[in-house]
């Protein structure tokens, strides 16, 4: 290597420094905190009453079956495992839509892969489309849409101080959306707020999309953890039935506990079966240039579970246990902290506490309680032994006059 080459700045030197990932920073702080009894409400994975995230029993059994019967590790297709899609579609979309040839689906690496692929498809079909995100939303939504070159706009979704949905404000801002714009919605268990639309509100959203020609992009990452597999999809299906075109991005990370296996699915609803096939061809082509083929393990596990009535029953029972635990922690927290009574009627793994950043920092420094700077907590990080301590530490911060002390 000549010194001449080293005097030039180089390709990577032109890159901007990036802020450290907030979640990783929090995790690092938590791990290096020597205090006993720290409470980790940061990372978004389910934890049981002992604080563990075990492999589900149905998953273990499906893995044992796979180990015994899998005969090759050759590539799967770019669209993934057709049996997985066929087995999952009725659970996510419902039977009638799963049979409707205006819907086409393919396997993706996690819900994230589904959203990223959806963004690419939208950009390919209509680069002028703008994507409307509710505020607040999952932090990755903006980046996933922008990575495909799409413009992102916001509408108000939730008021943290009053813990209420700002539905009227949302609908009036969405009146300014253009035909062809995309409306990103959480089907259930909203991350980070836990807030949900009523059935009537879902109907109104569907009507608005149909009237204005908006394309709903529905992110369903926590199905089964709110009210149950069917109930958590009902609002989404109401919208799907009202519009000619829509996209559904599903994740099996949480409801099958398969986080690291990266398993999800994407469905497109098109106006005709022929257009659905065209969309499918474009999805496959795009997937080929992003990950070529999706990983197989998670898809095989989900397929084996869903193709076996006994394993499906076991999986559903475990999912029911997870949901029951989340809902009982919500009830216990609401009872212990009356100012947080809304938590009991919210759903899923998250709540966005009405705290300012300085209060979040104070809770961390003074009490060893770790949550995102936004005030988002993972409900599943609470257990019967740490909940009373958390409630006692939190209470003064919700009185309205307690900032960093």
Ligand X SMILES: Cc1ncc(COP(=O)(O)O)c(C=O)c1O
Q: Which of 105, 110, 348, 375 binds ligand X (CB under 6 A)?
A: 110
Give burial (CB, 10 Å; 0-12/13-18/19+) of 75.
exposed
Residue 232 touching ligand X (CB under 6 A): no
Rounded Cα distance, 405 and 402, in Å = 7
391 binds ligand X, rule: CB under 6 A? no
- 136 upstream amide cis, omega within 30 of 0: yes
Lookup: tokens for 239: 């919208």
Site for ligand X contains 61 (CB under 6 A): no
Extract long-range pairs of 85-91: CB within 8 Å, 24+ residues apart: 85/265, 87/302, 87/303, 87/306, 87/307, 88/250, 88/252, 88/265, 88/302, 88/306, 89/265, 89/267, 91/223, 91/229, 91/233, 91/306
* Residue with smaller CB distance to ligand X, 132 or 397: 132
Q: What are phi and psi of 75, to 5 degrees?
A: -60, 145
User: Cβ–Cβ contacts within 10 Å for residue 388, how many?
Assistant: 12
Residue pair 88/245 in contact by the 8 Å Cβ criterion: no
Distances (CA, A) of 183 to 105, 173, 223, 324: 20, 12, 19, 31
Residue 327 found at the interface with ligand X (CB under 6 A): no
Applying CB under 6 A, the span of 69-77, 108-116, 153-161, 323-331 interacting with ligand X comes to 108-116
CB 399 within 8 A of CB 405: no
267 is a site residue for ligand X (CB under 6 A): no
With tokens 């180089």, the residue in question is 10
Q: What is the rounded CA–CA span in Å between residue 128 and residue 383? A: 47
Q: How many residues bind ligand X (CB under 6 A)?
A: 13
- Angle (nearest 5°) at CA 360 between 165 and 42: 80
In this structure, the number of other CB atoms found within 10 A of the CB of residue 127 comes to 11
CA distance 191 to 67: 35
Confirm or reject binding of residue 223 to ligand X (CB under 6 A). Answer: no
Min dist CB 78 to ligand X, Å, is 19
Residue with Cβ nearer ligand X (112 or 223): 112
- Of these, 42, 80, 105, 111, which contacts ligand X (CB under 6 A)? 111
| 286 binds ligand X per the rule CB under 6 A | no
d(CA 154, CA 173): 9
Per CB under 6 A, does 193 bind ligand X?
Answer: no
138, 157, 202, 370: which one contacts ligand X (CB under 6 A)? 138
* Binds ligand X (CB under 6 A): choice among 134, 264, 354, 381: 264
Stretch that binds ligand X, among 105-113, 268-276, 279-287, 390-398 (CB under 6 A): 105-113
Among 221, 279, 304, 340, binds ligand X (CB under 6 A): 221
User: Per DSSP, what are the bridge partners of residue 251?
Assistant: 264
Nearer to ligand X, 218 or 270 (CB): 218
Q: Is 107 in the site for ligand X (CB under 6 A)?
A: no
Instruction: Using the minimum distance from each CB to ligand X, give the nearer residue, 374 or 402.
Output: 374
Kindly tell me which of 253 and 346 has the beta carbon lying closer to ligand X.
253
List active site positions: 138, 219, 221, 254
Which residues ranging from 20 to 59 are in contact with ligand X (CB under 6 A)? 44
Q: Give whichever of 251 and 359 is closer to ligand X, judged by the CB atom.
A: 251
CB closer to ligand X out of 244 and 291? 291
Near ligand X by CB under 6 A: residue from 166, 253, 300, 347: 253
Min dist CB 55 to ligand X, Å, is 16
Binding site for ligand X (CB under 6 A): 44, 110-112, 138, 186, 191, 219, 221, 251, 253, 259, 264
């Amino acid at each position: 290597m000549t010194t001449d080459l080293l005097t030039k700045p180089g390709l990577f030197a032109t890159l901007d420094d990036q802020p450290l990932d907030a979640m990783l920073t929090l995790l690092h702080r938590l791990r290096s905190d020597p205090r006993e009894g720290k409470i980790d409400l940061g990372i978004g994975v389910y934890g049981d009453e002992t604080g563990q995230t075990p492999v589900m029993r149905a998953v273990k059994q499906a893995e044992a079956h796979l180990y015994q019967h899998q005969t090759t590790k050759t590539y799967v297709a770019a669209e993934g495992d057709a049996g997985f899609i066929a087995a999952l579609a009725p659970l996510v979309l419902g039977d009638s839509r799963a049979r409707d040839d205006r819907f086409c689906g393919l396997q993706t690496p996690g819900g994230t892969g589904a959203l990223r692929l959806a963004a690419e498809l939208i950009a390919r079909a209509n680069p002028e489309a703008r994507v409307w995100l509710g505020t607040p939303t999952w932090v990755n939504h903006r980046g996933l849409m922008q990575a495909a070159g799409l413009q992102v706009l916001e509408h108000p979704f939730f008021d943290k101080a009053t813990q209420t949905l700002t539905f009227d404000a949302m609908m009036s801002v969405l009146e300014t959306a253009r035909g062809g714009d995309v409306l990103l919605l959480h089907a259930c268990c909203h991350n980070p707020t836990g807030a949900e639309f009523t059935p009537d509100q879902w109907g109104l959203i569907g009507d608005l999309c149909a009237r204005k020609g908006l394309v709903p992009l529905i992110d369903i990452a926590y199905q089964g953890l709110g009210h149950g597999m069917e109930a958590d999809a009902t609002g989404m299906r109401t919208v799907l039935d009202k519009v000619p075109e829509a996209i559904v991005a599903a994740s099996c990370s949480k409801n099958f506990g398969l986080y690291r296996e990266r398993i999800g699915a994407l469905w497109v609803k098109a106006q005709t079966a022929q257009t659905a096939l065209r969309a499918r061809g474009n999805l496959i082509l795009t997937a080929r240039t992003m990950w070529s083929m999706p990983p197989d393990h998670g898809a095989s596990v989900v397929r084996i579970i869903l193709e076996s009535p006994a394993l499906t029953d076991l999986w559903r029972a475990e999912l029911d246990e997870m949901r029951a635990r989340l809902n009982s922690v919500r009830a216990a927290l609401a009872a212990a902290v009356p100012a947080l009574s809304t938590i009991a009627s919210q759903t899923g793994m998250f709540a966005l506490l009405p705290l300012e950043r300085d209060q979040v920092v104070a809770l961390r420094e003074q009490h060893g309680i770790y949550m995102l700077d936004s005030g988002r907590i993972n409900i599943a990080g609470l257990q019967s032994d740490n909940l009373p301590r958390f409630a006692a530490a939190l209470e003064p911060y919700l009185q309205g006059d307690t900032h960093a002390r």
